[in-house]
Amino acid sequence: MELSDFFAFFIIVTMTFITLWLVGMSLVNGIGPVATAAAVRRCVVTVLPEQINGSIVELGAGWGGMTLMLAKRYPNNQIIALENNLPVWMVCWLRVKLAGLGNVVVRLKSIDDAPLEEAGLAYSYLFPEAMGKLAEQLKASHGRLLLISHTFALPEVEPEQVIRATDLWRSRIYVYRFSSSLPS
């Protein structure tokens, strides 16, 4: 086997593995990795406060676009980006490293153990089942938190504000503000 044949074989096997992993994790998570559109990021910026007290947690960081935007906007806050899909996590981690952002930690982790107790802001672009799990986590959490959710609402929790982005789907952005735990 020539060296060029070996590299071609290696690339095919690697791409097949990554594709199968992405499909498998999409089935496990109930949704595939979808980038947040620039129009949605611009809309989210309109509801972000000047300052955040505490860390910022991105629940399902995906490819890292929102992580980078939050890290640049809040350079004095720690940004914790959670992603459980290995190839997607690798891209997010690499983007953060290449951007030279020292205030970001990218964790290969499920949102089930999100460190929300010390967070002042959480951002999510999750699917309905995960939003249900998040609502349960928030019920057990104590403290103040601003939660901004792209497209999907928390079940049985009234948002403080709902705005529409100017993207193709006119995505809804839900804003929740908690001063203590959610009502049971």
What is the reported pTM?
Answer: 0.84
Query: Would you state the structure tokens that stand for residue 31, as one six-digit string?
Result: 């949704």
Instruction: Give residue-wise pLDDT tens across range 50-84.
Output: 999 999 999 999 999 999 999 999 999 999 999 99
Phi, psi of 49 (to 5 degrees): -75, 165
Strand order in the sheet with 145-150: 104-108, 79-83, 55-59, 119-124, 145-150, 172-178, 161-164
Provide the 10 A C-beta neighbour count for residue 2: 7
- For the chain, the straight-line distance linking the first and the last C-alpha, in angstroms and rounded, comes to 65
Does residue 29 surpass a pLDDT of 80? no
CA distance 170 to 149: 14
Compare 85 and 183 and report the one with higher pLDDT. Answer: 85
Compare 98 and 87 and report the one with higher pLDDT. Answer: 98
3-state secondary structure of 172: strand
CA distance 97 to 103: 11
3-state secondary structure of 148: strand
Compare 113 and 91 and report the one with higher pLDDT. Answer: 91
